[in-house]
Structure 1
Amino acid sequence: MKFGASMFFTDYSITPAVLAQALEARGFDIVWAPEHSHIPLSRKTPFPLGPELPKRYYDVMDPFVTLTAAAAATQTLKIGTGVCLITQRDPIQTAKLVASIDQVSGGRFVFGVGNGWNQDEMENHGAVFETRHKLARERIEAMKAIWTKAKAEYHGEFVDFGPMMTWPKPVQTPHPPILIGGAFPYSARRAVRYGDGWMPQTTASSKTPLTEVIPRFRQMAAEAGRDPASLRIAIGAQPPDRALIESYRTLNVDTVSTSLDPAKEDVILPILDHWADIIRRVNG
């Protein structure tokens, strides 16, 4: 089983380079960086993980910048967006960002994506909350065309461009793995439709244990004609509970990750040491 860690990198947290080196030295497989471009003072939609929005959501740095720093400081550690809010990003420019970071990291990038919950935030970017899911699908499809074709074009309702040429192309073929984040069943359906895997999430309104949801996801994939074994499952925000992690391993979960507070080394490194012991015990 693979292990990862996620952090909202801020100007008061451990730096991405130092955390990445610490993770690599302790046997972790991947570091995740989430994103929010900004947080509007208005709030049309509630925060799905609780009543209050933590300060780190306001302060988080751009994930492509922090992950590039992490990649430059390591040799084998994968780097991933967890998640990139594609409804708030131009698909042509984002396709170039993804290809570029995959190039500079030597093919170590994982593209975790999400459609967003903050209506006010995405509306500031010109996205319509009610049609965000179709917008996200079209942007993913358009980026796939850009990554895999010398002369790419895409024609949809929300994304529409004629033949173009753009480089670099990603190192990974046909492109970096695309993992769709969100709760069951809706994000799971999107993962089956156009993703390479799923990043399941429990929320205040979707509390079914992931150990029950994962078999249902695999059944959903099989019914849609996809090989369930071909779809990665990466679970985040997990406690250092060896028994729980072993249950995920039994379900063939690919990666289990912990969420770290944006703190300095004196707080973070002992936590990583504890996780390193779990990694050794789980993986023998």
Structure 2
Amino acid sequence: MEHGVVTFLTDYGIDGPTLASAVEERGLDAVFLCEHTHIPTSRQSAWHGGAELPRRYSHTLDPFVALAAMATVTERIALGTAVSLVLQHNPIGLAKTVASVDRIANGRFELGVGPGWNREEMANHGIDPSTRTARMLEHIAAMREIWENDEAEFHGRFVDFDPIWSWPKPASAPPILIGGEGPTVLDRVLEHGDAWLPRGATPDQVEALAPRLAELRSRAGDAGREDITVTLFAGDVDKLVLEAAERAGIHRVLFLLPDGDTDVVLPYLDQYVAALR
């Protein structure tokens, strides 16, 4: 099982290249970044973590810009998003951004995606929140067309373009990690993704994922697919969570780093590495 970290990279915290170098030097396998383009001040949408939204949500760096910088100081670790709100991007522009980052990273980029939870944020992008999942999936399909074809063309409900030329193409096909734990998420993983990215911060939550992981593998086998992996978006480092993830056959665990400066983050990273020994 691989081990990595996920964090909200902010304008007041540790910088991306320092973090990425530290992760690689310590023998970990991945760094993933969260994304929000902005946070509306209305605060009408409920946040799953409680009433007060942490400061980091409105201070995040653009993950793609940050990951490109992180790619230049690393050689081995996977670099990705957990998650990118792809429905809030123009898919033609995002396809180029992802391909460019993947080129800089020599094929190490992974695109974790989710529909998001902040309805006001979506509305500011001109998106009807009731269409967010369908729009996300269509954006993924349109980007795949651009990555895979010299003359890409797409005609859908939300995305429509006649044949286009768009380079660079990715160094390798970026894996699409579908985030979420809802009742239909496995359908989305099998139809649109390369991997599943569920959350599980406690041993009980991870144990509850086990039957769904078995279902995913069974359905993937029936469809002739054996390459679907599972990356767990976890919380703090917890030996019991790691043991539950190992039993469930999870491929990789990402633990959430705090959004502090170097003096905060690097000791936390060292504690994580020590806990894995």
* TM-score, reference length from structure 2: 0.93
Distance 2:204 2:47 in 1: 18
Aligned ranges for residues 228-239 of structure 1 at < 5 Å? 229-239=226-236
Q: How far is 1:75 from its partner? A: 1.3
Distance 1:202 1:269 in 2: 23
Matched pairs, number: 275
| Number of the residue aligned with 2:214 | 218
Q: How far is 1:160 from its partner? A: 1.0
Question: Is the alpha carbon distance of 1:53 and 1:186 closer, same or farther for their aligned partners in structure 2, counting shifts above 3 Å?
Answer: farther
> Is the contact made by 2:4 and 2:253 (CA closer than 8 Å) also made in structure 1?
yes
> Is the contact made by 1:101 and 1:109 (CA closer than 8 Å) also made in structure 2?
yes
Distance 2:85 2:176 in 1: 13
> Is the contact made by 2:102 and 2:171 (CA closer than 8 Å) also made in structure 1?
yes
> Is the contact made by 2:200 and 2:232 (CA closer than 8 Å) also made in structure 1?
no
Aligned ranges for residues 102-117 of structure 1 at < 5 Å? 102-117=102-117
Q: How far is 1:194 from its partner? A: 0.6
One-letter amino acid of the counterpart of residue 33, structure 1: L
Q: How far is 1:238 from its partner? A: 2.9
Question: Is the alpha carbon distance of 1:60 and 1:215 closer, same or farther for their aligned partners in structure 2, counting shifts above 3 Å?
Answer: same
Question: Is the alpha carbon distance of 1:242 and 1:229 closer, same or farther for their aligned partners in structure 2, counting shifts above 3 Å?
Answer: farther
Match of 1:187 among 180, 185, 188: 185
> Is the contact made by 2:217 and 2:226 (CA closer than 8 Å) also made in structure 1?
no
> Is the contact made by 1:179 and 1:198 (CA closer than 8 Å) also made in structure 2?
yes
Question: Is the alpha carbon distance of 1:250 and 1:229 closer, same or farther for their aligned partners in structure 2, counting shifts above 3 Å?
Answer: farther
> Is the contact made by 1:182 and 1:188 (CA closer than 8 Å) also made in structure 2?
no
> Is the contact made by 1:6 and 1:259 (CA closer than 8 Å) also made in structure 2?
yes
| Number of the residue aligned with 1:71 | 71
Unaligned runs of 5+ in 2: none
One-letter amino acid of the counterpart of residue 86, structure 1: V
- SS of equivalent to 1:82: strand
| Number of the residue aligned with 1:118 | 118
One-letter amino acid of the counterpart of residue 190, structure 1: R
Q: In the TM superposition, what whole-angstrom CA distance separates every residue of 1:109-166 from its partner, at most 9, and x where no partner exists?
A: 0100111110100111111101111111111001011000111111111111111111
- SS of equivalent to 1:247: helix
Match of 1:256 among 253, 257, 270: 253
Q: Write out the 4+ residue segments of structure 1 that deviate beyond 3 Å after TM superposition.
A: 223-229
Identity within the alignment, %: 41
| Number of the residue aligned with 1:13 | 13
- SS of equivalent to 2:117: coil
Aligned ranges for residues 125-274 of structure 1 at < 5 Å? 125-172=125-172, 175-201=173-199, 209-220=205-216, 222-223=218-219, 225-226=222-223, 229-274=226-271
One-letter amino acid of the counterpart of residue 103, structure 1: R
Question: Is the alpha carbon distance of 1:136 and 1:114 closer, same or farther for their aligned partners in structure 2, counting shifts above 3 Å?
Answer: same
- SS of equivalent to 2:126: coil
One-letter amino acid of the counterpart of residue 248, structure 1: A
Greater mean deviation of Cα atoms: 223-232 or 123-132: 223-232
Alpha-carbon RMSD:
1.9
One-letter amino acid of the counterpart of residue 95, structure 2: A
> Is the contact made by 1:211 and 1:247 (CA closer than 8 Å) also made in structure 2?
yes
Unaligned runs of 5+ in 1: none
Distance 2:65 2:23 in 1: 18
Distance 2:181 2:49 in 1: 11
Q: In the TM superposition, what whole-angstrom CA distance separates every residue of 1:215-255 from its partner, at most 9, and x where no partner exists?
A: 22431453474457421111123322223202211222111
Question: Is the alpha carbon distance of 1:209 and 1:229 closer, same or farther for their aligned partners in structure 2, counting shifts above 3 Å?
Answer: farther
Distance 1:140 1:211 in 2: 30
Q: How far is 1:265 from its partner? A: 1.8
Q: How far is 1:14 from its partner? A: 0.8
* TM-score, reference length from structure 1: 0.91
> Is the contact made by 2:200 and 2:234 (CA closer than 8 Å) also made in structure 1?
no
